[in-house]
Structure 1
Amino acid sequence: MGSSLLTNSSAMTALQTLRNVSTQLATTQNRISTGQRVSTASDNSAYWSIATSMRSDNAALSAVSDSLGLSAAMVDTEYTALNTVIGDKNSGLTKLQALLVEAKTAGIDRTKIQAEVTQIQQDMKLKSDSATINGINWLSIDITPSSSTATPTTFNLVSSYSRVGGTPTIGSITVTTATYALYTTGGSSTTGILDTVVGGSTGASVASINIGALTDSATDQTKLDGYINQVTAAINSVASAAANLGAVKNRIATNTEFVKNLMDSVDRGIGQLVDADMNAESTRLQALQTQQQLGVQALSIANQNSQSILSLFR
């Protein structure tokens, strides 16, 4: 084919090749700079869409993780307070029971024992009232009927998130307040474990037991036996509540670990879809840069061919 001033086929071929190489080089450089082979919908619409949904789910899982952290702090606060109320030989219900047994001793000064009993009763109330976190207290609750300030009967602690198709599902752990209530206010009668009156109008609650006026008479000794049984029952009830809350605490800890592992799995899945193989991309970059340099030289040579035509007119 003869030479033409209007159409330089060699230059057109070299330019087309150079343009293709430049396009590939720009794509590779973008992958290296972003670390992703699918960073926009135009790169791969299907994978980009899936990755975007997975990132959205991971954000929701992150919120669940934060919620579990708050729930764990809440449960731990109530659990600690319950254990403190149960106490040991020096405090709490355990000490109160020991004092009542001691009060059975003939001739003992029960007014002095009552002074210590009163201190324990006040301390248990203080511990229960102090078990508040984020404005929530499960041990000292308000049961005022139809009141906006009343403590909810149940609390739902967010524990999981999943999405099937376009339908999100949020899992929760339901906690019933009455299970852990030691003291209640606002109702027609008190219903907490420690403030429920036993024995009718002449009876007492654990929180109001008073043995200061009791004597060695058979009647008063029977009353002391009733108080001892009452405190023993309270210890069992509080221990049961603590055990229940301990199970909730363990469940939250297990769910927290699961959510963190699940988030890592989702991150790995997103990486499989959109992350660039940096080893492959760096190798491709070197190859494309070489091709670009050769393409520039090829175009230069093709352009020089047109200059040789001038020599025919000299």
Structure 2
Amino acid sequence: MTIYRRTSVDAALYVLRDIGRDMTKTQRQVSTGLRVEKASDNGAYWAISSTLRSDQSAQSAIRDALGLAAATMGVAYTAVDSAIDLVSQIKAKLVAATESGVDKEKVNADIEQLKDQLRSVTQSASFNGDNWVAIDDSDDPSKPRQIPASFTRFSDGSVRVDTLSYEVDLAPVGSTSSKDARYLVDDRTTGSGEYGALTSQYFATEAGASQNYVMLKGAGNSAGQVEIGVSSSTTEDEVNEMITVVDMMLNQMTTVGSAFGALETRISMQSDFAQSLDDAFSRGISRLVDADMEEQSSRLRALQTQQQLGLQSLNIANASYDTVRQLFQNL
């Protein structure tokens, strides 16, 4: 007689094989924290999570750009605020120069010091090499300054990067005027300083002044321009003209400062939204691919127990098989 069937042993082996496969899967989920690690785990969820991770990386780059822009705008706004204070002091000095008996030469010495400080403020208002209050030949004032603000994926799969723009930075329409002075200083050699509130002669032109008064001369064509200042020969009418021009400059500088402040606020709001969007992406990806660690840990312990019981069952089955085999050998 030949014994050829080991039903109980085979059953125990099948159970152990299934338990081993489940343990391998569960151990991988516990070690990686992912229930969908590769496409074979769940093709649909893997594809969605891969796209979301790519978009999340793009959003992270947007947040970095917004952070850099916020710092740049902070420096620009601080420069404009300081410049407004300095120009206000110059205006006060000019008013003082209208008083009889005032030594205008000494007043002018104070004005010159304030103008030197103005130049220093505008030149040093640079963050990471980007200066939003002073422009030179590397800048194109006809194009708006833009900041990457958001990354959008549409239902058809196309993507777009939207930007925030400096609202005052608009291309001039028609002839240039004082309203185009949306920076503090225009040092382009190809212009006449018309895009800088401190270097534009259009304030004097629009005020009907007798001379083309500017606070500072730019690096471009400054022929016919006269820097604001007084001397013993300066008439009261000329001082009054300068006061009017300086007041117009201050109004435009306030407009520029307001635009910088509004853009800084918008950047802050967009940065907060981008952070919230990044958190939402993380939660969405987690729901799709992350393993429930408590559940998988409990499952792993249960499978380990089942494996021990399976091994005991296999030992019992093998022992029973050997007993029966020995009985038949003794016949």
Question: What is the TM-score with the length of structure 1 in the denominator?
Answer: 0.90
| Contact 2:63-2:275 at 8 Å conserved across structures | yes
Find the aligned partners of 2:122 and 2:146 in 1 and give their Cα distance.
Answer: 21
With 93-102 and 7-16 compared, the bigger mean Cα shift is at 7-16
Could you tell me which residue of structure 2 aligns to residue 313 of structure 1?
329
Find the aligned partners of 2:165 and 2:90 in 1 and give their Cα distance.
Answer: 32
Pick from 61, 64, 68 the counterpart of residue 63 of structure 1.
61
Find the aligned partners of 2:237 and 2:145 in 1 and give their Cα distance.
Answer: 41
| Contact 2:181-2:252 at 8 Å conserved across structures | no
| Contact 2:149-2:164 at 8 Å conserved across structures | yes
With 299-308 and 263-272 compared, the bigger mean Cα shift is at 299-308
Counterparts in 2 of 1:139 and 1:201: CA distance versus 1, 3 Å: farther
Find the aligned partners of 1:126 and 1:98 in 2 and give their Cα distance.
Answer: 20
Pick from 229, 237, 242 the counterpart of residue 210 of structure 1.
229
The one-letter amino acid of 1:244's match is A
Deviation of 1:134 after TM superposition, in Å, equals: 2.0
The one-letter amino acid of 1:54's match is L
Could you tell me which residue of structure 1 aligns to residue 174 of structure 2?
none
Counterparts in 2 of 1:171 and 1:60: CA distance versus 1, 3 Å: same
Could you tell me which residue of structure 2 aligns to residue 84 of structure 1?
82
| Contact 2:103-2:232 at 8 Å conserved across structures | no
Mapped pair 1:196 → 2:200? yes
| Contact 2:70-2:267 at 8 Å conserved across structures | yes
Deviation of 1:205 after TM superposition, in Å, equals: 0.8
The two structures, once aligned, show a CA RMSD in angstroms of 1.8
Pick from 18, 22, 37 the counterpart of residue 39 of structure 1.
37
The one-letter amino acid of 1:174's match is S
Pick from 181, 184, 200 the counterpart of residue 182 of structure 1.
184
Task: State the Cα deviation string for residues 158-185 of structure 1 (Å, max 9, x = none).
Answer: 1111212421121111122865312212
Find the aligned partners of 1:292 and 1:110 in 2 and give their Cα distance.
Answer: 100
Find the aligned partners of 2:212 and 2:100 in 1 and give their Cα distance.
Answer: 23
Find the aligned partners of 1:283 and 1:121 in 2 and give their Cα distance.
Answer: 74
Q: Give the alignment of 1:1-314 within 5 angstroms.
A: 5-87=3-85, 92-142=86-136, 144=137, 149-151=138-140, 153-165=143-155, 166-175=157-166, 176=169, 180-185=182-187, 186-191=189-194, 192-197=196-201, 198-199=204-205, 202-207=211-216, 208-215=227-234, 220-308=235-323, 309-314=325-330
Deviation of 1:115 after TM superposition, in Å, equals: 0.6
| Contact 1:11-1:302 at 8 Å conserved across structures | yes
Question: What is the TM-score with the length of structure 2 in the denominator?
Answer: 0.85
Query: Which blocks of at least 5 consecutive residues in structure 1 are unaligned?
Result: none
| Contact 2:84-2:254 at 8 Å conserved across structures | yes
State the percentage of identical aligned residues.
Answer: 33
Residue 127 of structure 2 aligns to a residue whose secondary structure is coil
Find the aligned partners of 1:38 and 1:182 in 2 and give their Cα distance.
Answer: 56
Residue 11 of structure 1 aligns to a residue whose secondary structure is helix
Deviation of 1:304 after TM superposition, in Å, equals: 2.1
Deviation of 1:120 after TM superposition, in Å, equals: 0.8
Task: State the Cα deviation string for residues 42-87 of structure 1 (Å, max 9, x = none).
Answer: 1111111111111111111111111001101111111100000011
- Structure scoring higher RCO (CA < 8 A, sep ≥ 6) equals 1
The one-letter amino acid of 2:111's match is V
| Contact 2:65-2:148 at 8 Å conserved across structures | yes
Task: State the Cα deviation string for residues 195-219 of structure 1 (Å, max 9, x = none).
Answer: 122258833212311211435xxxx
Query: Which blocks of at least 5 consecutive residues in structure 2 are unaligned?
Result: 171-179, 217-226
| Contact 2:182-2:256 at 8 Å conserved across structures | yes
Find the aligned partners of 2:259 and 2:109 in 1 and give their Cα distance.
Answer: 33
Could you tell me which residue of structure 1 aligns to residue 176 of structure 2?
none
Task: State the Cα deviation string for residues 262-284 of structure 1 (Å, max 9, x = none).
Answer: 11111011111111112211221
Find the aligned partners of 1:179 and 1:264 in 2 and give their Cα distance.
Answer: 41
The one-letter amino acid of 1:181's match is Y
Task: State the Cα deviation string for residues 129-174 of structure 1 (Å, max 9, x = none).
Answer: 11112222222212x4xxxx34563221011112124211211111
